[in-house]
Structure 1
Amino acid sequence: MDSANVNKEIKSVIRPLLQDAGFSQFTLRTAWRYSGEKIDVVNFQSFNSYLANAVGCTTYSFCVRLGCSLDAIPQRAIVKRKNGYLRPEEYECHLRLALQKSINQRNLKRTDIWYVDPTGKNLEVVIADAKKAILEIGLPWFSRFGDMKEVLRTLLEDSENNAGTSGFGANPSPIRHFMTGFTALTMGKMGLARERIKQALDSGCFKEFEPKMRAALKGTDKQGG
């Protein structure tokens, strides 16, 4: 048993599901979909021996992590590109979700890690459950954030949750102001955009984006609203 067995099962079982859902770029553990105003990411996170020992799982075990990278919001990281396509990592995405398993595993109680036995005897069952999570939870989650109104509502109203959507910070916080401001700007909500971008600018947390934020503020002043 080695990681190649896990990769083979992911390719055999998970990739067809993602291809049917419109994902078009793949590595062994990551898939990307380009849909309108965002890039969707699915990543099967593996564990090195140090992390596996700390968590209490095998190096063959995995998490399934999702991310939405929104065109409306500037990226703080330099996103890799291959074959003309941007390939943000899941951890670089603006909105993130860790899927949860639905099977009980006595070897590991954590619900965000699918435990793969050292012999691989449970690999098919584990991959099937991960597929179920992607189909029933993951794909609807991606669809939810295909609506910019829902993105803005989430940023304005929701709390970040380790068991749910994360990546957008506490409410209020500089990162929340930053994300809300640029989302509102894209949607033409100039008053809200001006308020939140100014709060992000005043925080001093986004030095690399200060010229962009100042330009956005000038634009909102001209357009009003």
Structure 2
Amino acid sequence: MGFEVDKAPTFYYRKDRVVGIFHIDFLNSQNAAYFNSNTASFSLNIGVFFNLQNIIIKPKEYESNIRGQILRDFRQKHPMKLKGFSWCHPERWRRDIWWVDKDGQNLEHILANACRLTKEKALKWFEKYSDPDHVIWLLKHGKENGKGGPFGFGSIGSPSRTDLIKKLETIKG
């Protein structure tokens, strides 16, 4: 797919002055215990970092100018006992985590789905949000979409948006 492996679970995709970041975020032991899952459960986080100084850097995924997630495309029962949670509680319907059963029986299915979706969506996402024209339009007119993305750039008129617009317009020339 064109990713550099630096230090798993973070991978980089470089194009011109853009660094695409793909990060596999595993549950830590505390969250795994809370969710009644295990530390093999994960989310797939992606981001675009505009390397405006044009130096070789390896930003963290959370430092991305535009962030997103690859969401699983199948229903999966939440491993946590959700008694007392209403049916409309967002925890019941989240698709940003691939839950691996405590015994690992569903691991093959989970990995196949995550790999397929990464192949289908990651590079397209990076291409879309690496385009300064598209990102400038998004920053001037678009909203953050929360889960799945794009997110991480603030609300319309916020200092982070305004600053990034100026920087992108400068490199566009």
Normalised-by-shorter TM-score class: 0.7 to 0.9
Decide whether the 8 Å contact of 1:101 with 1:133 is kept in 2. yes
TM (norm. structure 1) is 0.65
Residues 124, 159 of structure 1: CA spacing in aligned structure 2 closer, same or farther, 3 A cutoff?
same
| Residues 1:156 and 2:140 are matched in the alignment | yes
Number of corresponding residues: 158
Q: Give, as a single letter, the amino acid of the residue that structure 1 aligns with 2:171.
A: T
1:91 to 62, 65, 81: 62
Residue matched to 1:26: 6
Measured in 2, the distance between the counterparts of 1:36 and 1:57 equals 40
Equivalent of 2:95, from 111, 135, 159? 111
1:187 — aligned with what? 172
What are the Cα deviations for residues 159-199 of structure 1, in whole angstroms up to 9, with x where unaligned? 011122011100111111111111111122xxxxxxxxxxx
Larger strand proportion, structure 1 or 2? 2
Q: Is the 8 A contact 2:100 2:106 kept in 1?
A: yes
Structure 2-normalised TM-score? Answer: 0.83
Structure 1 Cα separation of the partners of residues 6 and 74 of structure 2: 27
8 Å CA contact retained: 1:46, 1:59: yes
1:36 partner amino acid? D
Trace 1:20-169 onto structure 2 (pairs within 5 A).
Answer: 21-72=1-52, 85-108=56-79, 109-163=93-147, 164-169=149-154
Deviation at 1:100, TM superposition (A): 0.6
Q: Deviations over 1:1-48 (max 9, x none)?
A: xxxxxxxxxxxxxxxxxxxx2112332311111111201111110111
Matched with 2:158 is 173
Consecutive unaligned residues in structure 2, runs of 5 or more:
80-92
Deviant stretches of 4+, over 6 Å: none
AA aligned to 1:58 is N
DSSP-derived class of the 2:122 partner: helix
Equivalent residue letter for 1:97: G
The structure with the larger Rg is 1
Report the counterpart of residue 219 of structure 1 in structure 2: none
- The answer (yes or no) to whether the contact 2:37–2:102 under 8 Å persists in 1 is no
Partners of 2:105 and 2:6 in 1: how far apart? 26
Higher helix share: 1
Structure 1 unaligned runs (5+)?
Answer: 1-20, 75-83, 189-225
Which sits farther off after the overlay, 27-36 or 165-174? 27-36
Separation in 1, partners of 2:51, 2:152: 15
Instruction: Look up the equivalent residue of 1:94 and give its one-letter code.
Output: N
Which letter maps to 1:59? T
Q: Following the alignment from structure 1 to structure 2, what is the Cα–Cα distance between the partners of residues 57 and 155? A: 37
SS of residue matched to 2:130: coil
CA distance in 2, matches of 1:187, 1:54: 47
RMSD: 1.8
> Matches of 2:8 and 2:170 in 1, distance apart?
37
